[in-house]
Amino acid sequence: MKLSPLTQDLSIFNKLGFEHPPIGVKFSFFRPDGIEQLSMDKNLSLCEIFKEAQLTGTPFYFSAENNETCVGKVILGMNDMAPVGRSGQIGVRLGVFKEARNNYNLYKYVQKMEKGVVNYVAFSPVDKLSYDPDVLVITANPHQAEIVLRAVTYSTGEMYTSLTTPVLGCSWFLIYPFKTGKVNYLMPTLVHGLSGRKLYNDDTVIISIPHQWLPTVTNNLQEMKIELPSHIDKEHYYAEFEQILRDLEKESQNP
């Protein structure tokens, strides 16, 4: 099946200096045309498959036929979780949870795709993106993350919100934004698997932008000041703020 073509200019994301390119993710019931399948020889977790797209710089799709070494197929609705996993036994033995009931409890929060809805997931670096992504996932340093998140609130006034759990972090940067239509961000170092696999620097922030928000974020990035003068140093911060107060006082005297 041919995926819906990309209709918006996302080149602004290439200008923000990310260490790794943003990845456009597409969930599909049908096999996508014009994209190569991830090698069947790869034995990777879903978060490593995402990183593979960043490292190779080449679009590919992952399917139920491919190997996946963690719970990626579970959250994608391709497989059921084994009873021993659902029971919460694994998290206890990892030292993440005190008792199995605590591990079990988090499953009521974790977002998953319904069984059989997603058979293929396409990944593409933003500079090679030819289809309309369901979610654009960015890995940024804190300074870059501030810019992207400011582009969310710049024309909307929306709050920054961050949701995750100590495990199953892939759910929160792939499935949650797609199913809820909400921008989400998290630090991989807070999630057991992402941290243990050492995929990113400790100060990395993952930001996921669902398709509903992409036009707003993209337009705001093109319009707003990327680097704010008051972020240069403390002296610039105070000087700018004091100048604004002086200007406001003067304007209020001459309404």
For range 161-171, the mean pLDDT: 96
Dist CA 177 CA 248 (whole Å)? 40
Task: Name every residue whose Cβ is closer than 8 Å to that of residue 161 and which is 6 or more positions away in sequence.
Answer: 182, 183, 184
pLDDT reported for residue 125: 98
> In Å, how far are 35, 115, 131, 135, 224 from 74, measured between CA atoms?
23, 9, 25, 19, 40
* pLDDT per position as a tens digit, 16-25: 999 999 999 9
Task: Name every residue whose Cβ is closer than 8 Å to that of residue 219 and which is 6 or more positions away in sequence.
Answer: 155
* pLDDT per position as a tens digit, 142-158: 999 999 999 999 999 99
Dist CA 76 CA 89 (whole Å)? 22
For residue 127, the 8-state DSSP code is G
pLDDT reported for residue 85: 87
Q: Per-residue confidence at 230, pLDDT binned at 50, 70, 90? A: confident
Residue 176 and residue 84 share a domain: yes
Residue 254 and residue 159 share a domain: no
Could you tell me the residue range of the domain that residue 253 belongs to? 226-255
The SS3 assignment for 206 reads strand
For range 65-76, the mean pLDDT: 95
Number of domains into which the chain is organized: 2
Residue 209 and residue 157 share a domain: yes
The SS3 assignment for 249 reads helix
- pTM attached to this predicted model: 0.94
> In Å, how far are 15, 55, 187 from 21, measured between CA atoms?
10, 9, 17
Residue 67 and residue 188 share a domain: yes
Residue 242 and residue 213 share a domain: no
pLDDT reported for residue 117: 96
174 is a domain residue: yes
- Answer whether residue 124 shows pLDDT above 90: yes
Q: Per-residue confidence at 254, pLDDT binned at 50, 70, 90? A: confident
- Answer whether residue 255 shows pLDDT above 90: no
Q: What's phi and psi for 94, nearest 5 deg?
A: -80, -15
Q: Per-residue confidence at 237, pLDDT binned at 50, 70, 90? A: confident
Structure tokens at 250: 């003067």
Residue 193 and residue 74 share a domain: yes
CA 226, 229, 232, 233 dihedral sign is negative
Mean pLDDT (the chain) is 95
Dist CA 227 CA 233 (whole Å)? 12
3 is a domain residue: no
